[in-house]
């Protein structure tokens, strides 16, 4: 189910369950999943997408996510050209994005402590701005958007993201079964996974890549250039 591709992957098993990547481990909540950032980059410094997919497949197995045929091939994985995939990045499977009838469903995968960068959605490509919400299925995701700032001091924005800054700081600590809607159309938002990562189902009217804008100028330029 997973090709290691030489990736450095440490699984600390406090529970004694020895095979978390061969299937669901009932005691998985006591395990820790750790990735080494350098293992995702070649000698040329370029991000290795296949190793990124290895990590996502390991995360899926760790949580007992129902891996389906062709899942690996459908994964979109990116470090947003930061060189810090374990700190800032994203993986996603788009199940359906119907631009004609305007509905969308996808799953997001965040590694432990990984940040999905702050962004927002504009009108574009004959579709209205994205209206969306997130249902955490496994793990923990700190979902942050507009509202009264309540971001705790223990939740630090990675330095690779605008020198450790963001523009919105209202956080919901979302655990499995928690649904968090976008606070307002066009509003900025971001996420930060907990220590065991997070797997999240996103629902929306539609997703349009060219209508996504990122607060970080470098990330924004890279994403729009894809």
CATH of the domain at 142: 2.60.120.10
User: Is 111 inside a domain boundary?
Assistant: yes
User: Is 24 inside a domain boundary?
Assistant: no
Render pLDDT for 56-99 as a digit per residue (tens, 0 to 9).
Answer: 999 999 999 999 999 999 999 999 999 999 999 999 999 999 98
Which of helix, strand or coil describes residue 30? helix
User: Is 15 inside a domain boundary?
Assistant: no
User: Is 51 inside a domain boundary?
Assistant: no
User: Is 160 inside a domain boundary?
Assistant: yes
Confidence grade of residue 126 (pLDDT, cut at 50, 70, 90): confident
- For 133, list phi and psi in degrees, rounded to 5: -155, 160
Q: What whole-number distance in Å separates Cα of residue 75 and Cα of residue 122?
A: 24
Residue with tokens 């440490």: 10
Residue 92 β-bridge partners: 76, 108
Considering its fold, how many domains does the chain have in total?
A: 1
Is 168:189 a contact under the CB 8 Å cutoff? yes
b/e per residue 67-91 (b: at least 16 CB within 10 A): eeeebbeebebbbbebbbbbbbbbb
Q: Specify the pLDDT at position 21.
A: 34
Quick one: which of 73, 74, 111 has its CA closest to 89?
111
Between these two residues, 28 and 35, which has the higher pLDDT value?
35
Q: What mean pLDDT is predicted for residues 145-166?
A: 96
pLDDT, averaged across the chain: 89
The pTM (predicted TM-score) of the whole model is 0.88
Confidence grade of residue 33 (pLDDT, cut at 50, 70, 90): very high
Q: What mean pLDDT is predicted for residues 117-145?
A: 96
- Name the residue range of residue 83's domain: 68-224
User: Is 195 inside a domain boundary?
Assistant: yes
How is residue 160 written in tokens? 């690779």
How is residue 156 written in tokens? 């630090």
Q: What whole-number distance in Å separates Cα of residue 132 and Cα of residue 110?
A: 18
């Amino acid at each position: 189910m997973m090709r290691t591709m030489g990736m450095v992957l440490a699984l600390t098993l406090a529970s004694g369950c020895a095979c978390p990547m061969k299937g669901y481990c009932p005691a998985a909540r006591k395990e820790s999943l750790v990735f080494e950032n350098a293992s995702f980059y070649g000698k040329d410094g370029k991000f290795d997408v296949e190793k990124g997919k290895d990590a996502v497949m390991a995360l899926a197995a760790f949580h007992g996510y129902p891996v389906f045929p062709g899942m690996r091939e459908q994964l979109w994985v990116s470090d947003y050209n930061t060189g810090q995939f374990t700190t800032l990045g994203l993986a996603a499977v788009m199940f359906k994005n119907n631009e004609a009838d305007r509905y969308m469903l996808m799953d997001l995968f965040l590694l432990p402590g990984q940040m999905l960068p702050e962004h927002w959605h504009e009108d574009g490509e004959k579709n209205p701005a994205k209206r969306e919400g997130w249902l955490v299925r496994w793990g923990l995701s700190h979902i942050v958007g507009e509202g009264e700032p309540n971001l705790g001091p223990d939740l630090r924005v990675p330095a690779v993201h605008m020198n450790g800054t963001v523009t919105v700081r209202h956080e919901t600590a979302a655990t499995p079964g928690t649904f968090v809607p976008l606070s307002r159309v066009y509003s900025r938002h971001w996420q930060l996974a907990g220590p065991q990562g997070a797997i999240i189902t996103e629902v929306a009217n539609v997703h349009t890549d060219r209508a996504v804008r990122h607060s970080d100028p470098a990330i924004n330029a890279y994403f729009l250039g894809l």
